[in-house]
Amino acid sequence: MSAVAINHLFGLPETIEKLIFPTFLPGEGNETRGGSNNNIPVDILESPKEYIFYIDIPGISKSDIQVTVEEERILVIKSNGKRKREDHDESEEGCKFIRLERRLPQNLVKKFRLPEDADVEAVAGKYQDGVLTVTVGKVPPQPPKSKSVQIAVS
């Protein structure tokens, strides 16, 4: 078995990436009350002008999602909403769910430490088709300033 297959099998590249580029805050990120959010997929894209976070949270109302930036450049994504079940009337005699696999934590909390070049004033969010897209702009790099120094003659 090749090294690539072994790495893929054990998820080593992702594990190494998480160690080298920690996205979540120690002890704070990826938390819920009463459960873990490790199964909530998040993709983060860096472009030359912005960072884009894609989070799958289907079945939640847009009004139940909150996106904030806290002190220390922490992007916080919360949802206190419940996923709505299909419009099937369970009160009808003989009807009941026999399997419920599509669960979402009731109190979703995701925290991300933003890089130094992130513009915390330029944060926008969009929720469409069960995917929350949060865009954080980047601060343009400042050109180094040169300073003239006068030399005293003694």
Tell me what pLDDT residue 111 has: 92
Tell me what pLDDT residue 76 has: 93
- Extract long-range pairs of 58-66: CB within 8 Å, 24+ residues apart: 58/83, 58/102, 58/104, 58/129, 58/130, 58/131, 59/83, 59/84, 59/102, 59/104, 59/130, 60/104, 60/130, 62/127, 65/125, 65/127, 65/132
Structure-block tokens of residue 23:
């996205």
Give the residues of the chain that fall short of pLDDT 50: 1-7, 15-36
- Residue whose token pair is 């400042």: 142
> What is the per-residue pLDDT across 78-94, written as a single tens digit (0 to 9) for each?
988 776 666 555 556 77
Tell me what pLDDT residue 10 has: 57
Q: State the pTM of this model.
A: 0.63
Tell me what pLDDT residue 29 has: 44
CA distance 46 to 117: 11
- Residue whose token pair is 């704070």: 28
Tell me what pLDDT residue 133 has: 96
The DSSP result for 41-65, as a single string, is: -EEEEE-SSEEEEEEE-TT--GGGE
Tell me what pLDDT residue 20 has: 43
